[in-house]
Structure 1
């Protein structure tokens, strides 16, 4: 094997397949800026990125009364989201914290898309009675914006939003570990502060971290 071939092979092996979901429902937002920054840096570094923008996705947010036994058919945008979750090696999510939780449309996407048979297997249960996760072997990064500083999220709210995302949503279907990068206060940040945040996100994107 020549040195050039070895270097090319090493580069291919070090690149990752990434699904990037901007979980802010607005068409313009700090979250979208962070998502686009991550995407540009990751693609420049040679990683393959499939981008989903919640504001552009069209689907019924209501899970409905059918339950897991008779779920609504997935709309094209949700089907594409699930396919790319299955494809990806690394999951990147940007989301604001609203009223201590994620936006309703993002929660609706998870309600509708994370279904048995695709993301977890109810026919195979653990000793604790939990279904077998089907999206294993993937890692995740959440870019979390809020007006509450991270120290207050930990001291006053026990990092509830992080536990929900890492354990009860992503971890439940096998995506772990989930690492968080927080940006606060996020409502009216100065442009210099946004620039600093984007530099941090560029570094994460370049490493597919």
Structure 2
């Protein structure tokens, strides 16, 4: 397998988290197999997460941290996100990052449309992997909530800009997970990092 260019975003707003551990484990395993990795931590990024009311025609200039992340996504062949599920969605700061950085002209093209009439994606040719942690058991998340955030991420966010396929690994029962369970999860994350999958 030839080396891949990989960008990883630890999407947890705290400095210490399971998401950060997953991002670090994936990065270490991928580098160990010769992949080229660029790693970003949401907790270390300084930017205004509020898109504001200016609209796309008058969007705020991207802060250096957002510009660097977006440049790395454009550079990458594989995009990895590790994040918690809070109240059925993404943490507000991570959602703000997407609102601010995933802009027309960089991630999608409103002047050209797909056969379905949607803006043409500009990040095609990239694959994705998402690690989500939550306390909701997988079967409840699927049966009662329809895997809503997973569908949003694969279809309306990553898929919308062309990152396909974006595969999701959901780790449930994260808050009170036993150390041996976390060890198993980290082993799974490292295995995926080695394969750049």
**Which TM-score applies when normalising by structure 1?**
0.92
1:104 aligns with: 92
Counterpart secondary structure, 1:69: helix
Which of 140, 148, 153 is residue 152 of structure 1 equivalent to? 140
Q: Give a deviation string over 1:153-181, Cα, whole Å, max 9, x none.
A: 11011110101000000011000111111
1:20-39 mapped onto 2 (5 Å cutoff): 20-39=8-27
**Per-residue CA shift, 1:74-116, capped at 9, x if unaligned?**
0000000110110000010001000000100000000000000
Partner of 2:151: 163
CA positional deviation for 1:190: 1.2
**Superposition CA RMSD, Å:** 0.8
Equivalent residue in structure 2 for 1:79, among 67, 74, 83: 67
Query: 5+ unaligned residues in a row in structure 1: which ranges?
Result: 1-10
Deviation at 1:126? 2.4
Aligned to 1:19: 7
Q: Which of 65, 71, 90 pairs up with 2:78?
A: 90
- Any runs of at least 4 consecutive aligned residues in structure 1 with deviations exceeding 3 A, and if so which? none
Residues 117-140 of structure 1: CA distance to partner in whole angstroms, max 9, x if unpaired? 111111102243211100000000
Distance 1:192 1:73 in 2: 45
Query: For 2:45, which of 54, 57, 66 is the aligned residue?
Result: 57
Give the SS at the match of 2:14.
coil
Q: Which has the larger radius of gyration?
A: 1
Q: Which consecutive unaligned segments of at least 5 residues does structure 2 have?
A: none
The number of residue pairs the alignment matches comes to 197
